[in-house]
Amino acid sequence: MSLTFRHIALIGKHHSAFHSAPPAQARQVLTSLTQWLLQSGAEVFLEKDSAQQIGLDIAPALDIRGIAAQCDLALVLGGDGTMLGYGRQLAPHGVPLIGINQGRLGFITDIALNQLEARLQPMLHGEYEEDHRVMLHAQVWRGADLVLEAQALNDVVVNRGATTGMVELRVSVDGNFVANQRADGLIIATPTGSTAYALSAGGPLLQPSLGGLVMVPIAPHTLSNRPLVLTNSADILIELVAGRDASANFDMQSLASLLIGDQVKVRKSQHHAVFLHPRGWSYFDTLRQKLHWNEGGS
């Protein structure tokens, strides 16, 4: 049977993807995986920074732009944070990702190292579940000036300063005023992000195929201020009315400091991330295992 994916990128920075694993172990894992993929008939490329950080030259190295141009699949070794970062970068180019976790189940990295060959072999031959994930496009405006523009796969978060009190936010959806909210902040999350910060703030879990967005206040002053589930076509406008040292975070990786009157505009991105899972994968199986739900039943 011929390979569905012939040009494969391996991504995995040892300081994040391998956590406490020493560089020697990281090299061993990537070397073994590279050799196995080459024997399977694939052409393999290493993400440039990953290869440099662990001193590996067993395959050609490419930066993200090169991977987007030359590869039809990316294997990401690491946790969900690593997948989020590279998922954002590769989404505009339509490159699907497979997440390989180093022993701990993730929400989007669901193949363990000890299952690599058994799980990957059928996937490389077209036996997989394709999972499309909504992304967010956000802008920070200061009057007529665009301060920052970014994509987010998990969430956009407007937060109060670390040592200050609540912020006051004026929130509108599709041009309709919703409320002036006093809280520690506000989260706009995708279904992917509904299991992250939004979950810890009391938000609902959204099935990824739903495609909607969730707006979750962080420790609101008014307890009747509850999470809202919105359509994925919603245009959300958040204006900072009061509060010092506030900021806007995008997947907790991009940051913009906010001044009074600044506006954060959030809407669905035109791009989406594509994750591939082993055949038979279930979102609900992942929730049950990750959240330690009762596993009784048939």
| Helix spans in the chain (H) | 14-17, 23-39, 48-54, 64-70, 80-90, 116-124, 197-200, 283-290
Q: In which residue are the tokens 């339509």 written?
A: 94
The answer to whether the beta carbons of residues 140 and 252 sit under 8 Å apart is: no
Is 53 in a helix, a strand, or coil?
Answer: helix
Tokens linked to 293: 């739900």
Distance CA 192, CA 84 (A): 10
The type of residue at 15 is H
Residues in the chain: 298
C-alpha–C-alpha distance, residues 20 and 33, integer Å? 20
Report d(CA 132, CA 176) in Å as an integer: 29
Partner residues linked to 217 by β-bridges? 186
What is 222-268 written as a DSSP string? STT---EEE-TT--EEEEEEE-SS-EEEETTTEEEE--TT-EEEEEE
Which of 80, 110, 131, 251 is labelled catalytic?
80
Cα–Cα distance, 159 to 155 (Å, whole number): 12
How many Å apart are CA 12 and CA 243, to the nearest integer? 39
Both structure tokens of 89: 């970068």
- For tokens 């936010």, the residue is 169
The yes-or-no answer on residue 235 being catalytic is no
Active site residues: 80
